């Protein structure tokens, strides 16, 4: 049993390495054609701000797309938004985009039911999380939104399958996503002053966190379950 796990960890680390190489390659490609703007971030910000309403609208739409049509972590979007437009008011547009995307995913699941999720989420994963949500309730949904997990942004769809009111769901999304959005947007806004050393440090940190997450998904899932279990027990005791 340990050997397959060790192999998965090695594969995850190798894939993370290839991902980093890919990011570097993309950066070098962009640097060749758009290097003038990235060497002068303020010039890039002026360029984007000249787009007027299209700039914030673009952030909202991209947040919507990455949640609804291609459920992926929005970390890069928050970082890029902060880098290009600065912290304020980018963080506001990011949060609006997340709330709109979460609302759309929530209602799509409520209308279409489990059939949609079965098309994209492995059946065993969906069944496992589905039963946990039923047993552990709202607090578990909150933890799934707050902490990176194998379900990712599909948790917004899963929440739509519950009887949870939309207002409560959006409150959980706002509280859970705001801290990470603030941090990522702030780092992006600060990155305009980065040199090669700072970019290398940031890349190394991102790679380490990615590798740790990929090699510990099961542990993270079990930890979330234990925390949700304690929360459920305290709630039951309070009643």
pTM of the predicted model, to two decimals? 0.73
Question: 1 pLDDT exceeds 50?
Answer: no
| Tokens linked to 219 | 């542990």
Closest by CA to 86, choosing from 59, 64, 54, is 59
- The pLDDT tens digits of the residues spanning 119-176 come to 777 777 777 777 777 667 788 889 888 888 777 788 898 888 888 899 999 999 999 9
Question: 2 pLDDT exceeds 50?
Answer: no
Q: State the Cα–Cα distance between residues 26 and 225, nearest whole angstrom.
A: 38
List the domain range (segments joined by +) for residue 66: 2-238
Report angle CA 35, 52, 86 to the nearest 5 degrees.
Answer: 55
Report CA-CA distances (Å) from 200 to 7, 51, 158, 195, 205: 28, 31, 37, 9, 9
CB 149 within 8 A of CB 221: yes
Query: Is the sign of the CA dihedral 28, 49, 41, 91 positive or negative?
Result: negative
Question: 182 pLDDT exceeds 90?
Answer: yes
CB 156 within 8 A of CB 97: no
Question: 219 pLDDT exceeds 80?
Answer: yes
Band (pLDDT 50/70/90 cuts) for residue 102 is: very high
- The pLDDT tens digits of the residues spanning 37-60 come to 555 556 656 656 666 777 788 788
- Output the pLDDT for position 172: 94
CB 102 within 8 A of CB 156: yes
- Output the pLDDT for position 116: 73
**What proportion of the chain, given as a percentage, has pLDDT over 70?**
72
Q: State the Cα–Cα distance between residues 89 and 112, nearest whole angstrom.
A: 35
CB 185 within 8 A of CB 96: no
Structural domains of the chain, count: 1
């Amino acid at each position: 049993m340990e050997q397959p796990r060790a192999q998965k960890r090695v594969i995850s680390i190798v894939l993370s390495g290839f991902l980093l190489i890919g990011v570097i390659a993309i950066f070098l490609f962009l640097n060749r054609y758009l290097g003038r703007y990235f060497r002068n971030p303020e010039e890039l910000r002026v360029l984007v701000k000249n787009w007027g309403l299209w700039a914030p609208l673009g952030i909202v739409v991209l947040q919507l797309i990455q949640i609804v049509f291609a459920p992926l972590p929005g970390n890069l979007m928050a970082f890029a938004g902060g880098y290009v437009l600065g912290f304020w008011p980018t963080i506001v547009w990011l949060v609006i985009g997340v709330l709109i995307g979460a609302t759309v995913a929530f209602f799509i699941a409520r209308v279409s039911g489990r059939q949609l999720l079965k098309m994209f989420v492995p059946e065993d994963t969906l069944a496992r999380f589905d039963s946990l949500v039923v047993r552990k309730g709202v607090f578990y949904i909150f933890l799934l939104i707050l902490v990176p997990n194998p379900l990712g942004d599909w948790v917004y769809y899963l929440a739509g399958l519950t009887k949870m009111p939309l207002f409560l769901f959006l409150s959980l999304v706002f509280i859970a996503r705001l801290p990470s959005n603030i941090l990522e947007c702030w780092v992006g806004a600060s990155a305009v002053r980065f040199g090669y050393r700072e970019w290398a440090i940031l890349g190394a940190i991102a790679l380490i966190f990615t590798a740790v997450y990929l090699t510990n998904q099961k542990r993270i899932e079990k930890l979330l379950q234990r925390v949700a279990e304690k929360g459920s027990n305290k709630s039951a005791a309070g009643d």
